[in-house]
């Protein structure tokens, strides 16, 4: 008997292609997607998007140039900072963002705006004060990796190749930047500094003493300034609230769309279309319902996030409302599109699981997109999870005004319209069969 039960299930599995797909293909597909994400198996290693700012003010400094001062001349300070920035620009781990419109010389404010708008993950503001480099890393703290990576690279750039050994060529008459050969030469003064620090360390002297003893080589001062997320209770709550909400919005929309197939299977659709109701009215009725349900569902979830996890929903109500409506509308259209694409509820079940999990994985509902390779991030833009999450990110994290949501709203509304039209076209076959 037990064997017969096993046999029956094996035979049923053999005849059910959707179950085959869900049992064997989908897990492998998802393993592969996540393996690509975490091993960067596809495309290139994700680069940190940086905005580089040379804060050494040439003109202001040049005014002081005549004054008796021990400090390095302003133009030389500017060149030193520029050397560090040039070196950072060559780093394989960074992608330098030029801003809009592309500008060669960003100032601190412009760079900060770029970070706030998500154009850059972090801005590096380099200056030369006294006898040492200072760097402010204007950080978006939602990316918990970027500041550490950039901090290390900036330190390396300041302490290594670009230290004042280059002073000679920089202060050379032509005021030209040093050649690559120059910047990568061993720096005897820096070596002396390192030896001195080592010696001080060995004699257990306070390090600060060594710095004062060697004013030409004070260590760089690097400060990470969280311009986004400062003071927020939990920086990732809004990210995950949006990610999970969008994913379940899609599942609910798909289930809601499945009602259409259920109605078709039990002839309710036949009966409905024999009344005064048209297919247009039926689809629009379902679309409005699913959109409304989606709005309520996401609102309940964010309210919970506010009550329990301290998310500031009420403070961002306008952006939240408009993003939620657009996302729910797109999800509703997606659910109806999938339903009209399929012939049976079984097909819909299989297809929706595959489609939604893939979209959620690529679109950032499961893993933040910033940890993905660039090619995966680009692929993610084909999912509206990514656009929805970017929108919520702008609202809750970057706290940008509603006007900044234009690209996200455009894509989501276009998806909502396009998928609804596609669903209507697919439903023609049920009208004329």
* Site for other proteins, rule CB under 8 A: 266-268, 270-277, 432-433
Q: How far is the CB of 259 from other proteins (least distance, A)?
A: 9
* Smallest separation, CB 311 to other proteins (Å): 34
Task: For residue 114, count other CB atoms closer than 10 A to its CB.
Answer: 24
Closer residue to other proteins (CB): 282 or 322: 282
Angle at the Cα of 108 (from 103 to 113), degrees rounded to 5?
75
* Distance of closest approach, residue 11 Cβ to other proteins, in angstroms: 24
Q: Looking up tokens 């609102």, which residue turns up? A: 299
> Which among 79, 90, 71 is positioned nearest to 54, based on CA atoms?
79
β-bridge mates for residue 126, sequence order: 54, 135
- Output 272 or 402, the one with its CB closest to other proteins: 272
Write the DSSP symbol of residue 367. S
Q: How far is the CB of 358 from other proteins (least distance, A)?
A: 28
Minimum CB–partner distance for residue 343 and other proteins (Å) = 12
Q: Which is nearer to other proteins, 194 or 425 (CB)?
A: 425
CB of 297 to other proteins, least distance (A): 19
Q: Rounded to 5 degrees, what are φ and ψ at 81? A: -65, -40
**Within 10 Å of residue 8's Cβ, how many Cβ atoms?**
10
User: What is the spatial distance between Cα 246 and Cα 251, in angstroms, rounded to a whole number?
Assistant: 9
Nearer to other proteins, 141 or 340 (CB): 340
In angstroms, the CA 235 to CA 218 distance is 34
Neighbouring C-alpha atoms within 13 Å toward the C-beta of 284: 5
Give the nearer residue to other proteins in terms of CB position, either 251 or 430. Answer: 430
Sign of CA dihedral 361, 363, 364, 366: negative
Compare residues 263 and 393 and give the one whose CB is closer to other proteins: 263
Pairing of strands 122-129, 132-140: antiparallel
On the 0-12 / 13-18 / 19+ scale of CB atoms within 10 A, 112 is buried
Vertex 395: Cα angle to 392 and 399 (nearest 5) = 145
Distance in Å, CB of 18 to other proteins, minimum: 20
Cβ nearer to other proteins, comparing 174 with 432: 432
> Chain centroid to CA 217: how far?
38
| Peptide bond just before 248 cis, omega within 30 deg | no
Residue with tokens 């202001």: 60
Q: Strand, helix or coil at 22?
A: helix
Cβ of residue 43: shortest distance to other proteins, in angstroms? 38
395 vs 379: CA distance, rounded Å: 23
Nearer CB in complex with other proteins: 259/413: 259
CB of 428 to other proteins, least distance (A): 13
Q: Indicate the residue among 258 and 319 with the shorter CB distance to other proteins.
A: 258
């Amino acid at each position: 008997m037990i064997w017969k039960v096993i046999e029956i299930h094996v035979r049923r599995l053999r005849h059910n292609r959707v179950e085959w797909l869900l049992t064997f293909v989908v897990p492998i597909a998802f393993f592969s997607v996540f393996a690509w994400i975490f091993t960067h198996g596809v495309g290139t290693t994700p680069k940190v998007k940086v905005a580089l700012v040379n804060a050494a003010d040439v003109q202001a400094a040049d005014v002081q140039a005549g004054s008796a001062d021990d400090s390095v001349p302003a133009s030389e300070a500017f060149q030193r900072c520029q050397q560090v920035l040039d070196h950072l620009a060559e780093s394989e781990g960074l992608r330098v963002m030029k801003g809009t419109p592309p500008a060669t010389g960003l100032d601190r404010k412009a760079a900060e705006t770029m970070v706030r708008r998500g154009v850059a993950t972090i801005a590096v503001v380099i200056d030369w004060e006294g006898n040492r480099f200072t760097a402010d890393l204007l950080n978006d703290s939602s990316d918990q990796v970027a500041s550490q990576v950039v901090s290390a690279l900036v330190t390396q750039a300041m302490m290594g190749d670009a230290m004042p050994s280059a002073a000679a060529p920089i202060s050379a008459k032509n005021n030209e930047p040093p050649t690559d050969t120059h910047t990568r030469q061993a720096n005897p003064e820096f070596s002396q500094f390192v030896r001195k620090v080592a010696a001080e360390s060995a004699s257990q002297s306070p390090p600060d003493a060594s710095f004062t003893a060697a004013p030409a080589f004070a260590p760089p001062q690097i400060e990470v300034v969280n311009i986004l997320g400062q003071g927020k209770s939990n920086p990732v709550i809004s990210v995950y609230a949006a990610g999970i909400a969008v994913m379940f919005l899609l599942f609910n929309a798909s289930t809601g769309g499945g009602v259409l197939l259920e109605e078709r299977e039990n002839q309710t659709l036949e009966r409905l279309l024999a009344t005064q109701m048209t297919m247009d009215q039926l689809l629009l009725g379902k679309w409005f319902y699913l959109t409304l349900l989606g709005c309520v569902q996401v609102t309940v979830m964010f309210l919970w996030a506010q009550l329990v996890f301290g998310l500031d929903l009420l403070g961002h109500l306008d952006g939240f409302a408009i993003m939620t409506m657009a996302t729910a509308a797109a999800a509703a259209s997606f659910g109806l599109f999938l339903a009209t694409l399929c012939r049976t509820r079984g097909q819909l079940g299989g297809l929706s699981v595959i489609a939604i999990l893939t979209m959620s994985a690529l679109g950032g509902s499961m893993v933040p997109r910033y940890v993905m390779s660039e090619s995966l991030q680009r692929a993610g833009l084909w999912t509206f999870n990514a656009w929805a999450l970017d929108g919520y990110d702008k609202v809750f994290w970057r706290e940008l005004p509603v006007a900044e949501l234009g690209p996200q709203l455009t894509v989501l509304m276009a998806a909502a319209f396009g998928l609804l039209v596609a669903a209507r076209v697919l439903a023609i076959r049920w009208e004329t069969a």
